[in-house]
Structure 1
Amino acid sequence: MKETILKSLAKIEEDFDVKILYAVESGSRAWGFPSKDSDYDVRFIYVHKKEDYLTIDQMGIGKKRDVIELPLNDLLDITGWELTKALKLFRKSNPPLMEWLRSQIVYYQAFSTIDQMKDLSKQVFAPHSCLHHYLNMASNNFRKCLQEGPIKIKNYINVLRPILAAKWIEKYNEFPPLEFPKLLEDLLPEGELKREVHTLLKKKISGDELDYEPKIEVINQFLNADIVRLKEYTSTINVDLPDFTPQLDQLFRNTLEEVWNERI
């Protein structure tokens, strides 16, 4: 599959006249619980030529899209963000982008931009913003999917993962690892709750993610209580981060020079 992904990325560069800097897996495979039917969720960051930026209409305005999306198929989902879009989101500690930078499944990386972003990511990390993201994801999924039984195994995992990510931020004040098993082992004590989550995880990986489970009361109680508690905790956080715009502006200019091998 990696060869197919690399061929798709090469065709994107040719069709859109861009350079891809980075491409990773971002879905259940990166999170450590792929099932036998899981597709590949490829996410990438790309840069246009210098002249495409030196116009009166900035990237992302009008016809100058800052996203490339290939048509979906049953096995492959490929989406990319243009570099200035990515850097503006990076400045805000955007959790999906921060996850891309931490994915252990890297399909492609070129030039120095991504390594520099990774070096900056600990400084850019905004716990308040990331906690809000994961708690909103967990709350919305919990409200929609878990209030009544029976419940799809996949939906349980889709609430547990962001809750555990939020708990990691609370415990370590750092961006959480992507791998769900790592979060599970570190954050849940031995006991009934952990055993039930392990059982769900095994069923998810075996391909039963769309099967229905009766409501698991110990998990529902844990999720309900921690959503409330973490929201209260998040309201007490007030982090004043410096403005990284000058550094990111320079990173963008340096990338154009490095990628296209010319002075700007």
Structure 2
Amino acid sequence: MIYGTLELQQNILETAKGYADEYNLKLVYGVIVGSNSKGFEYADSDCDTRFLYVREDFPQKICVPWEMTEEELVKRFYPMQECLDECLPFWELTSFLHFLTKPSFNNVISSGLYNMVGWTFQSPYQWDPYGIRNKIMPLIDDIFIKEYEIMYHLREIERWYKKDDRKIIAKNYMYSVHAALTIDWCLQRNVQPPVYYKTLLGCCASEQIADEVDRLVKTAQQEAGNVIVKNHMQDRQKTHFTIMAEHSEVIDAYIERMYKKGTETVNSYKISPQMLLKCQKNVRKMCGILMEEIS
């Protein structure tokens, strides 16, 4: 299942397939990302999607992102429909999987690209007609590089977490604690973390932290709904900046503790070229397996 009502799911898939057919792309996987996948959506949240495709020359060609341009591999469609995100991104499957070992298009490492792969296969809302997730997750866990994932979530905390004022934008606070929970998961388990916040809470957080975070999310979501009904707001995502939350000493302490631990881990990170080469070979092998099953 993708996400939302049957009508919304059909709309998303029909729109994506229409674009893919026009450009001779074969869609093989689709997912909802954004706040919906984390469990932080408001009533006015848009629907962020991501699709994976294979090219016309599949299965003869495995694409490697640092040997090709982004324009060759990534397509972006703007459907201009209110119920969808402003952009539907389409990523070529085999190049996408290569970000697991070297998240880069032009030799500049991006922790965002690395996180994007894990997020794509761990979102609770997926369209997966070929069973790709179950095939790829064992490999993702086996070659997981926790430092890349932690690096991304450290940047998320730096982006969203502001302690200067008594109140903070509630969504920003949610994203900050989600990043802290993900860092905690990586340090404890050293496998790809889930996306849904309640799964992270159940596995990482103390009961006190879990209660505080649940209260933050439920209160913000209820208030957002009330604001939308009361003010008849039409602007997409306006409540993201409208709903505020008071700082919690428990949540603040947890975010700051995980940020410190994550920073220490990233600063001591080293990976051998031999291990990286082995991981890249395993990714290419998986691409070959998927080629046989999809073609």
Common fold: TM-score over 0.5: yes
Counterpart amino acid of residue 261 in structure 2: R
Give the deviation of 1:195 after TM superposition.
3.5
2:32·2:47 contact (CA, 8 Å) conserved in 1? yes
1:159 to 152, 173, 176: 176
- Segment drifting more, 197-206 vs 120-129: 197-206
Give the deviation of 1:221 after TM superposition.
3.4
1:99 and 2:119 matched? yes
Q: For residues 128 and 102 of structure 1, what CA distance do their matches in structure 2 show?
A: 18
Counterpart amino acid of residue 4 in structure 1: N
1:45·1:81 contact (CA, 8 Å) conserved in 2? yes
Counterpart amino acid of residue 248 in structure 1: V
Give the 3 Å change call, closer, same or farther, for CA 246–112 of structure 1 in structure 2. farther
Give the deviation of 1:131 after TM superposition.
1.3
Q: Number of residues paired by the alignment?
A: 253
2:206 to 168, 189, 201: 189
Q: What is the CA deviation profile of residues 45-76 of structure 1, one whole-angstrom value per residue up to 9, with x for unaligned ones?
A: 1111118969xxx98438x5321222254431
2:9 to 2, 5, 12: 2
1:137·1:159 contact (CA, 8 Å) conserved in 2? yes
State the SS of the aligned residue for 2:207. coil
Q: For residues 134 and 181 of structure 1, what CA distance do their matches in structure 2 show?
A: 17
- Segment drifting more, 5-14 vs 153-162: 5-14
Structure 1's unaligned 5+ residue stretches are none
Q: For residues 59 and 18 of structure 1, what CA distance do their matches in structure 2 show?
A: 20
Aligned to 2:228: none
Q: For residues 82 and 215 of structure 1, what CA distance do their matches in structure 2 show?
A: 42
Give the 3 Å change call, closer, same or farther, for CA 29–231 of structure 1 in structure 2. same
Alignment of 1:4-19 (within 5 A): 4-19=11-26
1:89 to 84, 88, 99: 99
Aligned to 2:214: 198
Aligned to 1:116: 135
Give the deviation of 1:177 after TM superposition.
1.4
Counterpart amino acid of residue 178 in structure 1: V
State the SS of the aligned residue for 1:118. helix
1:33·1:204 contact (CA, 8 Å) conserved in 2? no
Q: For residues 270 and 115 of structure 2, what CA distance do their matches in structure 1 show?
A: 18
Aligned to 1:75: 83
RMSD: 2.9
Counterpart amino acid of residue 52 in structure 2: I
Q: For residues 200 and 102 of structure 1, what CA distance do their matches in structure 2 show?
A: 23
State the SS of the aligned residue for 1:36. coil
Structure 2's unaligned 5+ residue stretches are 1-7, 104-113, 225-239
Q: For residues 143 and 204 of structure 2, what CA distance do their matches in structure 1 show?
A: 24
- Please, what TM-score do these two structures have when normalized by structure 1? 0.82
- Please, what TM-score do these two structures have when normalized by structure 2? 0.74
2:260 to 216, 228, 232: 228
2:183·2:258 contact (CA, 8 Å) conserved in 1? no
Give the deviation of 1:20 after TM superposition.
0.9
Give the deviation of 1:37 after TM superposition.
1.8
Identical pairs, percent: 21
